[in-house]
Structure 1
Amino acid sequence: MATQFLLVLSVMLLIQSHGGKGDDTPISRFQQYLRFKTAHPNPNYSAPISFLVEQAESMGLTTRTIEYVRGKPVLLVTWLGSNPKLPFILLNSHLDSVPAEADKWIHPPFSAHRTSDAGLIYARGSQDDKCIGVQYLESIRNLKSRAFLPLRTLHISYVPDEEIGGFDGMAKFAASSDFRELNVGFAMDEGQANPGDDFRVFFADRTPWELVIRAHGIPGHGAKLYDNGAMENLMKSVELISKFRDSQFDFVKAGKAANSEVISVNPVYLKARTPSNTGFVMNMQPSEAEAGYDLRLPPMADPDLMKKRIAQEWAPSIRNMTYTIKEKGKLRDHLGRPIMTATNGSNPWWAVFKQAVEATGGKLAKPEILASTTDARYIRTLGIPLLGFSPMINTPILLHDHNEFLKDTVFLKGIEVYESVISSLSSFEGVSAQMI
């Protein structure tokens, strides 16, 4: 009888630790945060900010809300350290999420439904990246319960608009006097899940370029062979760009480079026609043709060489072509160095971070360049070392996908990992000046 009682008690305690309905637990607080509809094009920022402020202040942390653009707040949460002379730690997370097509989800995307069998929490933003926004606070809650006192001051920033480029969020925050006053010596931002057993960590992002090339020519009958026609010239460029894309992809397929280590070039649209009431005229050759491409450049790429290739090969003026490039970020920092964080002995923060993860029984995968782009680029551009890290292992990569979810035990393990990381980083005495 006593054995049965202990078994029932253990099960009840396990359910409680994962968060049941109505409980005030890490899981229930995560679910509450996920239910705020922060998806574009009309993200609700005020409700999650109020929730985060309430959680932070309940732990004795100080908060400050700043608006560089009306209606787009930046929340700063601070845990004061005992030595204000040491550079501070910054943990960043974004408030917003991409849209979700509700009819394509198993459970409503903002319900934060948790399955009773597997403990899967379905919600837009569960992986990208509301998980770390809550894990930061939950790990501090646990550290404070053990009377841990940080040596370095720790800041947590919650920023808007990351999913649409961060131009009114982290871009403005990082360029502000408010940010300079934080004296950040080391920072962390989001990473990605790993279906395998190792935690992924990212030391750089790729920089996006939007390339639009246009071809011009004289219009004419569809039966005539024109030289230097708009469509003819555009298709020559399309072929050249496709060959370059194939050459880059060959390195990936041969195992010589990761996808994020090469320049990716992907066609987004083609546009050419002579308009009519029925759509377009089939027996007329158009006088203008246009193509749009999404380029992603790793930090090692030479931007000047890429621009030369575009000007001389992909859209040369001698073929009646023009082009525009929209650079959505930089490839070099303020000292002209590639924007990346060292993951070796030259960066003392790296060893502290690595040991902290391993202390929880975890293992780090080979450091990577993120194939896409995050707000980390704005901080790295200032010369501040930053690692992208979201502690999710044995988890499918579902950011921006239908049915995005995170398993409850994975979320709870992430809190444990961040406890070790935060306590180690904030106790580190080895760097007494900002690394620039």
Structure 2
Amino acid sequence: MAVSPLLWTLFLFSVIFSIQSYSEEEEDTPITRFQQYLRFNTAHPNPNYTAPISFLLDQARSIGLTSRTIEFVHGKPVLLLTWLGSNLNLPSILFNSHLDSVPAESEKWIHPPFSAQRTVDGHIYARGAQDDKCIGVQYLEAIRNLKSRGFVPLRTIHISYVPEEEIGGFDGMMKFAASLEFRELNLGFVMDEGQASPGDEFRVFYAERTPWHLVIRAEGIPGHGAKLYDNSAMENLMKSVELISKFRETQFDLVKAGKAANSEVISVNPAYLKAGTPSTTGFVMNMQPSEAEVGYDIRLPPMADPVAMKKRIAEEWAPSIRNMTYTIEEKGKLADQLGRPIMTLTNGSNPWWSIFKQAIEATGGKLAKPEILISSTDSRFIRTLGIPVLGFSPMINTPILVHDHNEFLKDTVFMKGIGVYESVISALSSFEGISDQVI
């Protein structure tokens, strides 16, 4: 039976594509190693830590790094890789990233979220591509290149891969930072994750906002839905909701007017509202409930006054005279051990900042104005100890897709980031000065 030219053409294209795909899979390059790391499903609620740590240990051995695996909580390992410096008396440097990632709704992705599919335009699609498996591989690739050129660091370099960051870091970096093993590292400076930049300037973060979870409860007399009661539960709660909304509006006005960045104000956002008397068809409409409750996610920048905030909550938002109670769950600290705001200085008084900035500029890059991160990372546990930390991920001209569907990183951006880290790692580890730990 004769085969048409069109079918032959399609057949040849499929063969060529298969050969190319197989060839790419067989290659051992920074890109394929990045793809391999991305394919480990470390998404919550059941992250697989064993496979990626085995992969990272293989990579560490291939470039001559020593390793330690520490478990502060069973099944939640911290991997620590080390490149010894020539002067062990100087404080060391730590480059941190996390192993875990948030879940992905695969049906809403263009490509399966753990396939690490690389498209013809160079986009590598995977959960964790930006947050933050990219830097976990870039650290190693940068060190691989530095070692191949015979570079020897003056200061010891550590790389940490920690679990549980996406759910608070309480069984990961929090316990690691409080441990003897961490103190023995004698850290002078730390780098952690940042975020992508849609523009051509690298973003860098010197502080984070501290989360508070506020729950306000109101009580009142229950009764018929037609009757007007004074100080009913819903009435009192709605008064509070209105006051909180006005405060939120004043903070948001500063952002909209350009007087403050989003991360520099106190954000107060409603998370849930719970009230009413349930029925088989929904709620009983002719009955006023005796209890009502609302929950808020509050984020405070390091310069916020927590005492004033608590006073506002107690006296205005949930006063006891209106039959109201409240709880505040503080998810972090606003001040360090000496009572100073938890932030890293980004001026000439911090030599680490100057060295980092010069290292970026040496690659032809430019830093945007330093920012407070709108959310939170493991950096907060380290800054609390008085150790300077900068959050940084070398991704420019890249849409911010943290926790979004179709998270991706372009291959050229990933490769350029390796060169950026070569400059940063060599500069920071060559710093000869003895610096006090400053924030």
Shorter chain as denominator, the TM-score bin is over 0.9
Tell me how far apart the structure 1 counterparts of residues 220 and 280 of structure 2 sit (CA, whole Å). 23
Find 1:244's aligned residue among 243, 247, 252. 247
1:33 to 37, 43, 47: 37
Q: Is the 8 A contact 1:260 1:371 kept in 2?
A: yes
Mapped partners of 1:416, 1:61: distance in 2: 19
Report matched runs for 1:17-96 at 5 Å: 20-96=24-100
- Give the SS at the match of 1:21: helix
CA distance in 2, matches of 1:259, 1:291: 24
- Following the alignment from structure 1 to structure 2, what is the Cα–Cα distance between the partners of residues 82 and 273? 68
Distance 2:270 2:430 in 1: 48
Matched-pair identity in %: 82
Distance in structure 1 (CA, Å) of the matches to 2:417 and 2:24: 19
Establish whether residue 428 from structure 1 lines up as the match of residue 405 from structure 2: no
CA apart distance, 1:434? 4.0
Residue 153 of structure 1 and its aligned partner are, at CA, apart by 0.1
Q: Which amino acid aligns with 1:416?
A: G
Distance in 2 of aligned mates of 1:263 and 1:432:
33
Partner of 1:12: none
Compare 273-282 and 106-115 and name the one that shifted more.
273-282
Q: Alignment partner of 1:171: what SS?
A: helix
Q: Which runs of 4+ in 1 moved over 3 A?
A: 432-436
Name the residue aligned to 1:367: 370
1:393 equivalent in structure 2: 396
TM-score by length of 1: 0.95
Task: Report the alpha carbon displacement of residue 20 of structure 1 after superposing the two structures with TM.
Answer: 2.6
Change (3 A) 1:315 1:147: same
> Are positions 1:155 and 2:158 aligned together?
yes
CA displacement at 1:432 relative to structure 2 = 4.9
Letter in 1 for 2:80: L
* Offset at residue 60 of structure 1 (A): 0.7
CA–CA separation in structure 2 for the residues paired with 1:432 and 1:399: 34
C-alpha distance in 2 between matches for 1:281 and 1:431:
70
Extract unaligned runs of 5+ from structure 1: 1-15
Cα RMSD between the aligned structures? Answer: 1.0
Would the aligned equivalents of 1:95 and 1:161 in 2 still touch at CA under 8 Å? yes
Matches within 5 A, 1:130-279: 130-279=133-282
- Give CA-to-partner distance per residue, 1:285-311, whole Å, 9 cap, x none: 000000010000000001111111000
Counterpart amino acid of 2:67?
Answer: T
Q: Is the 8 A contact 1:93 1:189 kept in 2?
A: yes
Opposite residue 396 of structure 1, the aligned amino acid is P
- Secondary structure (helix, strand or coil) at the match of 2:25 reads coil
Alpha carbons 2:348, 2:354 under 8 Å: kept: yes
What is the DSSP-based 3-state SS (H/G/I as helix, E as strand, rest coil) of the residue aligned with 1:32? helix
**2:276 and 2:69 mapped to 1: Cα distance?**
50
**How many residue pairs are counted as aligned between the two chains?**
418
SS at match of 1:369: strand
Separation of aligned partners in 2, 1:90 and 1:333:
20
Find the counterpart in structure 2 of residue 311 from structure 1. Answer: 314
What SS class does the counterpart of residue 431 from structure 1 fall into? coil
Contact 1:109–1:122 under 8 Å retained in 2: yes
Give 1:335's aligned residue. Answer: 338
Residues 37-76 of structure 1, C-alpha deviations (whole Å, 9 max, x = no match):
0000000011101100110111110000000000000000
Q: 2-side partners of 1:45 and 1:303: how far apart?
A: 37
> In structure 2, which of residues 113, 117, 122 is the aligned counterpart of residue 119 of structure 1?
122
Measure how far apart 1:276 and its partner are. Answer: 2.0
Question: Could you state the TM-score of these two structures normalised by the residue count of structure 2?
Answer: 0.94
Deviations 1:338-383 (A, max 9, x none): 0000000110000100000000000000000000000000000000
How far off is 1:433 after superposition?
5.0
Q: Any idea what SS the aligned residue of 2:349 has?
A: coil
TM superposition shift of 1:252: 0.3
- 286, 291, 295: which one aligns with 2:289: 286
Could you say what secondary structure the match of 1:350 adopts? helix
Are the counterparts in 2 of residues 348 and 431 from structure 1 also a CA contact under 8 Å?
A: no
Q: Which residue identity is paired with 1:221? A: H
SS of residue in 2 equivalent to 1:68: strand
Give the counterpart letter for 1:347 in structure 2. Answer: N
Task: Indicate conservation of the 8 Å contact 1:87/1:434, yes or no.
Answer: no
Q: Which runs of 5+ in 2 are unaligned?
A: 1-19
Q: Deviations over 1:120-148 (max 9, x none)?
A: 00000000000000000000000000010
1:109 match = 113
Inter-partner Cα distance in structure 1 for 2:261 and 2:389:
20
- Kindly indicate whether the alpha-carbon contact (under 8 Å) linking 2:345 and 2:438 is maintained by their aligned counterparts in 1: no
